[in-house]
Amino acid sequence: MNKQKNRLIDHIKYSVMIAALLVITFAPTGQVKAEFGDVVINNYSDKAGMPPVVFPHWFHRIRFRCKVCHGDLGFEFKAGGNDINMVKIIDGQYCGACHNGEIAWSIENCNICHSAPVGTPTQVHESTLQKLIKPDQNKTEDKK
C-alpha cells in the first residue's frame, strides 16, 4: 500500500516538474515592460552585429540633472536622433564623456549597454505614444 502511495507521489512530482519545465520553455515572452523612459538605440547596432543599446534614464537622472547630457554633452531630445558611434565614444563624445573608466565604467564592458535582444527597434519605452491602447498592434510587435 505504502509503496503504491509513494509511487503515486513520485508520479505527481514528475508531472509537476515537467509542467514547470513546459511553462518555462514555452511561456510567451509576455508584454514588453521595461522602465518608463528606457531608450533603445539601434541606429547601427543591428547592422554591426551587436545587440542594441538600452539607456536607462531613471538610473542616470538619479546621478545627473538633465542639462548635463542634454545641454553640456549635446544629446538631442530624440530617441535615435543622436549620431552616436563607438569611435565618438572612445574619443570622449556622447556616452564617452563619462564612460571612460574615470567618471563611470569604461567601454570594454560592452554588454552592460548592448543588452537588448537583437532586432529591438529604436524607441522610448513606456512613452505615452506606446501606451495608447492598441492591443492588436502591440501584441504583434511584441511577438516579433
Partner 1 sequence: MKKNNAMTGRLKIHLMFGLILVVSTSVTGADDPNTFNRLMDPPSKRNPSPMTDGIHDPNNNGTQLLQPPKEAFQQLPKGKSGNYIDWMKALQDKKINPRNDRVDTKSQPIIMDLNIVREVKGSMPDVVYPHKQHTEWLDCANCHPAIFIPQKGANQISMASILLGEKCGVCHGKVAFPVSECRRCHSKPKPTKTANKKNKSDKQAK
Q: Rule CB under 8 A: which residues touch partner 1?
A: 11-12, 14-19, 21-23, 29-38, 40, 51, 54, 56-59, 61-68, 70-73, 77, 97-98, 103, 109-118, 120, 124-129, 131-133, 135, 142
Report the alpha-carbon distance of residue 57 to residue 110 in Å, rounded: 18
Q: Which is nearer to partner 1, 85 or 105 (CB)?
A: 105
Q: How far is the CB of 54 from partner 1 (least distance, A)?
A: 6
Nearest to 56 by CA among 18, 104, 90: 104
Q: Which is nearer to partner 1, 72 or 83 (CB)?
A: 72
CA 33 to each of CA 17, 36, 77, 124, 126: distance values in angstroms, whole numbers, following the listed order: 28, 9, 22, 12, 7
CA Rg value for the chain: 22
Q: How far is the CB of 117 from partner 1 (least distance, A)?
A: 4
Q: How far is the CB of 91 from partner 1 (least distance, A)?
A: 15
